Amino acid sequence: MSAAPTVVILGAGVSGLCTGIQLLKAGISSFTILEKSDRVGGTWYDNQYPGAACDVPSHFYCYSFEPNPEWSRKFSGQAEIQAYLQRCAEKYGLIPHIRFRTECAGASFDERKGVWRVRTSDGEELTTHVLVSGVGQLNRPHVPDLPGLADFEGAAFHSARWQHAHDLTGKRVAVIGNGASAIQFIPPVAKVAKQLTIFQRSANWVVPRGDYAYSERAKRIFRSFPWLLRLYRWYFYWQLEKNFLAFGGEGRIARMMEKGARGWLESAIPDAKLREVLTPDYRVGCKRILIDDDFYPALARPNVSVTTSEISRITRDAIETKDGASQPVDAIILATGFETTSFLAPMQIEGVDGKKLEEIWGPGAEAHLGLCVSGFPNFFMMYGPNTNLGHNSIIFMIEAQVRYTVQCIQALAQRGLRYLDVKPDVQERYNAELQRDLSHTAWAAGCKSWYKTASGKVTNNWSSFTVKYWWKTRRPKLEEFKRVPRT
Ligand code: NAP
């Protein structure tokens, strides 16, 4: 392959857009982005619940090559982040490359021709040399199998599919779940609802966010001194990066973090009984730490209550719990998270010899550097297995993955290769080391979380500092791949 390979990218979120931009920067314009919705932004378009915002500082939750002096706050909201991504897509000329309302149903690798055949859910087939997944880990809402849910007669929807047409003012609202999404929309909903009941299965560690707005003067300074903006960005990077110390084995920092979180709980919740309900029984970091200023104060409101009894069933107009109580409600919001450990499902990805990704991932997904899977040539995943973080910006990881992928694509062209396929022993060694490292982290400690499978294998999180991931991915080692020349 001496001409630039063709590339199909799945998803126009942070990863897909970044891949497109870097391909264009590398002089490769032979790519198409398939996006199932009608706008760019991915998760930042899907999640439009009230209060949706990012809990990573905006000046580090943006592309390194596209700093934004205009961020309105330390932690900007969903609409602002989506608008930023839209601006990037327009500025870099990506829009003509995007096919909106086009969903990928699956893809199979044709080894003889060295191409992927990508099927859309409309039955169309596209052929491409390289397939890049930018669908991430948090795109398919998890709807729990609660008896009676389908018969509920009020409004019921998932937080990532918010139904704005349902005005919750003066309503009795139930929220199932209390993770990162729930804690952001509970405060605004509590302000308007008649009554809000949170069905909590387990408590979370919550630390204050310390949000603030940037003044016009601050923005002017950022605009005038780009180097200062860059310095500010790296200040956030190192501030976040150090937090891995709390997850990576050594207990002292974790205990300090727990102490801080307990202090915040004490100061925000005067009711000792409620404090007990809200105190986690597992090590900090095992589940995602929640970063918020408004959640605890909202729980202290007289119209808000927390129920810990397990839900037994849902009737036409109420939620019944195992303690025999029945809570009449007008609306149910499922803040129950996402299907995280099945990664690319329900897409059917078939590699060499018809090997199915979902089958080989049966015991738990794994990949080399979270990017490539042996037997699935010329296939790269952004934000794939074991690349999620509990402490820093995922955009940093995504940029590292995109850099690696673009270099692999360039190697295909420059070396006249039909395909690159990571060697099985390379992938095996990498994952053995990764799982060894993960076994010492907070994620492997005793809790259930979306970071791991039902059997306890941590499939979602990276095992170390992000700087280590950056180092490992800065240049692909082509000797780690089976390199098949064009015939
Ligand atoms: P989540 O963290 O997975 O939380 C799901 C919640 O639903 C948990 O409280 C869980 O309880 C509960 N739940 C699930 N199934 C249930 C059932 N059958 N019955 C009762 N409760 C049930 O989901 P999320 O809050 O949507 O957040 C997902 C991820 O999205 C976050 O961890 C984060 O990475 C990302 N996010 C980021 C931001 C940001 O600011 N950057 C904001 C929102 C989301 P258990 O805890 O007991 O399992």
| Edge-to-edge strand ranges of the sheet holding 130-133 | 98-99, 31-34, 7-10, 130-133, 379-381
Alpha helices in 3-144 (DSSP H): 14-25, 43-46, 78-91
Could you read off the pLDDT of 361-370 as tens digits, one per residue? 999 999 999 9
**Residue 379, pLDDT score:** 98
**Residue 1, pLDDT score:** 55
3-state SS assignment for residue 471: helix
- C-alpha dihedral over 368, 370, 372, 375, to 10 degrees? 70
Look up residue 352 and give its DSSP letter: G
Nearest protein CA to atom 15 of ligand 1, as residue? 336
| Selection from 400, 369, 402 nearest residue 481 by Cα | 369
**Residue 231, pLDDT score:** 97
Return the bridge partners of 133, or none: 10, 381
Calpha distance 380→388 (Å, rounded) = 16
User: What is the 216 CA–ligand 1 centroid distance (Å)?
Assistant: 35
Percent of the chain with pLDDT over 90: 96
Out of 14, 54, 201, 289, mutate this one to test ligand 1's pocket (max ligand atoms within 8 Å of CB): namely: 201
Percent of the chain with pLDDT over 70: 99
Cα dist from 409 to 90, 110, 416, whole Å: 24, 18, 11
Calpha distance 136→374 (Å, rounded) = 19
Span 200-206, mean pLDDT?
A: 97
Could you read off the pLDDT of 224-256 as tens digits, one per residue? 999 999 999 999 999 999 999 999 866 888 899
Could you read off the pLDDT of 19-33 as tens digits, one per residue? 999 999 999 999 999
Q: Which two tokens stand for residue 28?
A: 């490769």
**Residue 423, pLDDT score:** 98
Out of 47, 291, 450, 462, mutate this one to test ligand 1's pocket (max ligand atoms within 8 Å of CB): namely: 450
3-state SS assignment for residue 430: helix
Query: Which atom of ligand 1 lies at the shortest distance from residue 179's CA?
Result: 25
Calpha distance 136→33 (Å, rounded) = 14
Per the omega criterion (within 30 degrees of 0), is the bond before 377 cis? no
Q: Which two tokens stand for residue 403?
A: 């850099």
Q: Whose structure tokens read 């149903």?
A: 105
Out of 181, 334, 394, mutate this one to test ligand 1's pocket (max ligand atoms within 8 Å of CB): namely: 181
Ramachandran region, residue 123 (left: φ > 0; alpha: ψ -120 to 50; beta: rest):
left
Return the bridge partners of 485, or none: 417
pTM of the predicted protein model: 0.96
Q: For the chain, give the number of residues.
A: 487
Cα–Cα–Cα angle for 155, 36, 130, rounded to 5 degrees: 150
CB within 8 Å of 197: residues ≥ 6 apart: 172, 173, 174, 175, 304, 305, 306, 307, 319, 327, 329
User: What is the 334 CA–ligand 1 centroid distance (Å)?
Assistant: 10
Q: Which H/E stretch holds residue 116? A: strand 115-120
* Direct distance between the N- and C-terminal alpha carbons of the chain, in angstroms, rounded to an integer: 10
User: What is the 176 CA–ligand 1 centroid distance (Å)?
Assistant: 10
User: Does residue 158 carry a pLDDT above 60?
Assistant: yes
Q: Whose structure tokens read 């040539």?
A: 377
Question: Which residues have CB under 6 Å of ligand 1?
Answer: 53-56, 138, 144, 159, 176-182, 184, 199, 201-202, 288, 335-338, 448, 450
Could you read off the pLDDT of 436-452 as tens digits, one per residue? 999 999 999 889 999 99
Cα dist from 426 to 38, 103, 368, 385, 433, whole Å: 39, 32, 7, 16, 11
Cα–Cα–Cα angle for 33, 21, 16, rounded to 5 degrees: 40
